[in-house]
Chains A and B, each alone.
Chain A
Amino acid sequence: MAKKNPIKAVKDFWYGKPHTAEEGGRRLGELYEDKTGLLKHREWRGVKDTFYYMYNIWGYNYVHMVLDILKFSNNPIDFVKGTWRYRWMGQTYLPVIHWFERGLQGMRGEALAASAWHYRAMVSASIHQICNFFNADTRLHGGKKNDAYMHTIYANETVCGTLFYPWKDAGYQYLPMEMIPYFVTCHVNSHTVLNYIDAVQSIGLPGDPCPMCQAESGLFVLDDVPDSSPMVITCNEACDASVSTSTLQDWFADKPLFALPIPMQFDDPLVKKYCMNEIEECWKFIEEQTGVPFNWDSMVKYLERQNKLQRDEWEKWDVASKTDYYPVNGVAQALFRIYSTQYGIQTSCWEEASEKVKKIMYKCVEKKINPFPQTRHRVIAWSCAPLYFSNWCTWAYNCWGLNTIINMDSLMFDMEIRTDSYDNMLEDMATYHMWAPMRRMAVGGMHHIFELWDYMKRFNCDMVAMYDQLQCKGMQGVHGLFEDEFRKRNINAFWIPHALPDCRTVSRAEIRRQINDYMTTVMHEEPLDPSLLDFDDSMTW
């Protein structure tokens, strides 16, 4: 038996074990229970970081989840009733703290603190939406259409929240129908969504379209969408499979419905004009349904806050691209951006988190703290990520030193919306709408798909993590073109096959195996933490 070095033991206790195997490292893979992915015990990160995590992340978020419910809910009893009624609520959101754990594993110091603020904002925004669902849901109020119901506007989750700012000051709340019941659930607890995918296939629909569209329709098939709004705005989610989702939603929601398509072709002035007209038609529909006219001042007020958030993000990206001092990890960066740009300024949580992260970031810059000191490669992640394993970047950094600096999800809405005139605002709004999630750089034409090369340079990345959504017909069509370009440009790139929310098609272990194979056979590198190479977490959330 090897002799224990008491000085090292004291050092490990005080500072936490070092990252790498050569230094007698922390061996994070040994913390997992077999299959469930639960922790035998949490990582000892040293005295300071362990207690920071315990009080300022774990405890703080438990307490603030309760406070958020009390803040956003008209009656906390409705929250309990909603948890009992809806599978996506009860099964998914109770283990939310474990979602933090997966994303923040192995993080220390500033990386731990800054990434956790992004998670905190996402949890707060989720509770905001959940409470809005339950405040207005007729099923929880004996069929009564209360004031909250009459002031809620349902929209498809890829219709941006920005479109609804004109009615915000009049008390109307935009509520994306599937963002909480579908999208966020997949990240927090990937078991829940499988029920909805199976439900839609059980009524005879084929299993090969995008599983996102399947799950969204499945929510309606299982009658698991709250009845919280008198109207619905749907869209095609920039994808043919979603056209049928809209049809099913029209059938099952049975409400006045406006279909606001995202054009399949864009970068064309005529299409843009068409899109601008469609947005104006949508606004007329809302005016007709609510009886409240479009309010320009309200629009400008929230757009300016949104633009400020965008400028803050540019400031952060500047540090991320030019220095090693950016403290947010890949998963916290991606999810915060896709969530905040899509939901919009419906609460102040994004701005509050952004300010806190900026403060931590500037501390890193001033004191020259590198929050990811074991970075071997600066990675850009491209295309749509596996929702059930969005924390792969945390694993990849811990295991291989692959630091995901930026990703497509963060870059989709890389723009401000002008507020100097109605015409300019409308023109920019059309662009913003056309750059919908999974649209611009996934199925948005070669020009945008290949923006990868520019962003790679801008963010000073030397490696690409290329997502391969096996059921996305659009991206499958360009797989070979990427292969050719990677070879031609001599770019190190590995593929991550997945089926968006469905963890049964490509498991997390298989994704890890693919990355391990690339890193050993192509890059000829040794893992930083070999205990993370292979472990069974097939039953994990």
Chain B
Amino acid sequence: MKKLGKFLFKFCFVFVLLNALLFVVFFFDLDGKLMFNVVEPFLKKHYDNMERKDVLKEPYDLDKFPEYKY
């Protein structure tokens, strides 16, 4: 019985703690701030420096496919 009580107390404590933490993240928009100040600049840098195919060097072959007239 004592063990069960201890377990319940711990469970409730962890549950309340997690919810309090979640509330802090939610209320102070910490997820938005993380995305705006850290994640987006990091990803932007990655995309800006990414090597890309120069599509203008691809030939525009007009006769490659049929005209699909039915």
What is A's interface to B at a CB cutoff of 8 Å? 36, 38-42, 54, 58-59, 84, 87, 90-91, 94-95, 97-98, 101, 189, 191, 195, 203, 220-223, 250-252, 254-258, 280-281, 284-285, 288, 541
Q: Which chain B residues in 11-70 approach chain A with CB under 8 Å?
A: 22-23, 26-29, 31-33, 35-36, 39-40, 43-44, 46-47, 52-53, 55-56, 58, 60-61, 64-66, 68-70
Residues A256 and B68 in contact in the complex (CB < 8 Å), given A42-B27, A91-B40, A94-B39:
yes
Q: Is the CB of B32 within 8 A of A41?
A: no
Q: B residues within 8 A CB of A220?
A: 55
A84 touches B46 (CB 8 A): yes
Q: Known contacts A38-B36, A281-B70: does B26 contact A54 (CB below 8 Å)?
A: yes
User: By the criterion CB–CB under 8 Å, are A91 and B53 in contact?
Assistant: no
User: Across the interface, do B22 and A59 meet the contact criterion of CB distance under 8 Å?
Assistant: yes
B22 & A54 in contact (Cβ 8 Å cutoff): yes
Bound complex: CA A256 to CA B65 (Å)? 6
Q: Which residue of B35, B47, B53, B55 contacts A94 across the interface (Cβ within 8 Å)?
A: B35
**B32 interface neighbour in A90, A95, A250, Cβ under 8 Å:** A95
Please report B residues at the A interface, Cβ cutoff 8 Å: 22-23, 26-29, 31-33, 35-36, 39-40, 43-44, 46-47, 52-53, 55-56, 58, 60-61, 64-66, 68-70
Residue of B nearest to A59 (CB): B22
Structural contact, A97 and B65, CB atoms closer than 8 A: no
**Closest A residue by C-beta to B52:** A223
Name the contact of B36 in the complex, choosing from A36, A256, A285 (C-beta under 8 A): A36
Bound CA–CA A359/B17 (angstroms) = 35
Contact indicator B32/A98 (Cβ below 8 Å): yes
Complex A-B: 10 CB contacts under 8 Å? A38-B36, A39-B32, A58-B26, A84-B46, A87-B47, A91-B47, A94-B35, A98-B32, A191-B40, A256-B66
A158 to B58, CA, bound (A): 26
Query: In the complex, what residues of B have CB within 8 A of residue A59's CB?
Result: 22, 26
Task: Give Cα A501 to B25, complex, Å.
Answer: 31
* Interface pair B44/A38, CB less than 8 Å apart: no
Known A-B contacts A38-B32, A94-B40, A285-B68; the reply to A251 vs B58 at CB < 8 A is: yes
Write out the residue numbers on chain B whose beta carbons fall within 8 Å of the beta carbon of A254: 58, 61, 64
**CA–CA, A223 and B53, complex, Å:** 6
Q: Which residues of A contact B28 (CB under 8 A)?
A: 39-42
CB contacts (< 8 Å) of B56 on chain A: these are 203, 221
A467 to chain B, nearest CB (A): 28
* Chain B residues whose CB sits within 8 angstroms of the CB of A203 once the complex forms: 56
Q: Which A residue sits closest to B62, measured CB to CB?
A: A250
7 nearest A-B pairs in the assembled complex, by CB-CB distance: A87-B47, A39-B29, A251-B60, A95-B35, A90-B43, A284-B70, A223-B53
Q: Find out whether the CB atom of A252 lies under 8 angstroms from the CB atom of B43.
A: no
Pick from B36, B60, B66: contact of A541, CB below 8 A.
B36
How near does chain B come to A138, taking the closest CB pair, in angstroms?
13
Contact status A42-B26, CB under 8 Å: yes
**Are A54 and B23 also in contact (CB < 8 A) when A38-B33, A223-B53 are?**
yes
Shortest C-beta distance, A195 to chain B (Å), equals 8
Residues of B within 8 A of A98 (CB): 29, 32, 35
Q: Give every chain B residue within 8 A of A42 (Cβ-Cβ).
A: 26-29
Separation in Å of the A205 CB from the closest CB of chain B? Answer: 12
Interfacial chain A residues near B33, Cβ < 8 Å: 38
Contact A97 B31 (CB under 8 A): yes
Contact (Cβ within 8 A) B32 A221? no
Question: Considering residues B35, B61, B64, which has the most beta carbons from chain A within 10 angstroms of its beta carbon?
Answer: B35
How many Å lie between the Cα of A401 and that of B3 in the bound state? 58
Question: What's the Cα separation between A54 and B58 when bound, in Å?
Answer: 50
- A221 and B58 CA atoms in complex are apart in Å by 11
List the B residue with the shortest CB-CB distance to A288: B68
Contacts of A191 in B (CB 8 A): 40
Residues of B near A256 (CB, < 8 A) are: 65-66, 68
The docked-state distance in angstroms from the alpha carbon of A91 to that of B35 is: 9
CB-CB under 8 A from B66, the residues of chain A are 256
Smallest Cβ-Cβ distance to A87: which chain B residue: B47
Q: Which residues of B contact A285 (CB under 8 A)?
A: 68, 70
**Minimum C-beta distance from B48 to chain A (A):** 9
- Given A281-B69, A285-B68, 16 more pairs with CB closer than 8 A: A38-B32, A39-B29, A40-B28, A42-B29, A54-B23, A91-B44, A91-B47, A94-B35, A101-B29, A191-B40, A221-B55, A221-B56, A222-B52, A223-B53, A255-B65, A281-B70
> Complex formed: what's the CA distance from A203 to B55 in Å?
11
Q: Are A252 and B58 closer than 8 Å at their CB atoms?
A: yes
The interface residues of chain A lying within 8 Å CB-to-CB of B23 are 54
What are the residues of chain B within 8 A of A36 when measuring CB–CB? Answer: 36
B35 contacts across to A, CB distance below 8 A: 94-95, 98
A252 engages B55 (CB within 8 Å): yes
A-chain residues with CB within 8 Å of residue B55 when the two chains form the complex: 220-221, 223, 251-252
Nearest CB of chain A from residue B64's CB, rounded to whole Å: 7
**Least Cβ distance of A451 to chain B in Å?**
35
With a CB–CB cut-off of 8 A, which chain A residues contact B44?
87, 91
Q: Which residues of B contact A284 (CB under 8 A)?
A: 70
- Complex Cα gap A94–B34 (Å): 11
Q: How far, in whole Å, are A222 and B56 apart by their CA atoms in the complex?
A: 10
List the A side residues contacting B43 at CB < 8 Å.
87, 90-91, 94
A87 and B52 alpha carbons, distance in the complex (Å): 12
When distances are taken between beta carbons in the complex, the residues of chain A under 8 Å from B40 are 91, 94-95, 189, 191
- Distance (whole angstroms) from the CB of A61 to the closest CB of chain B: 11
Cα distance A84–B47 in the bound complex, in angstroms: 8
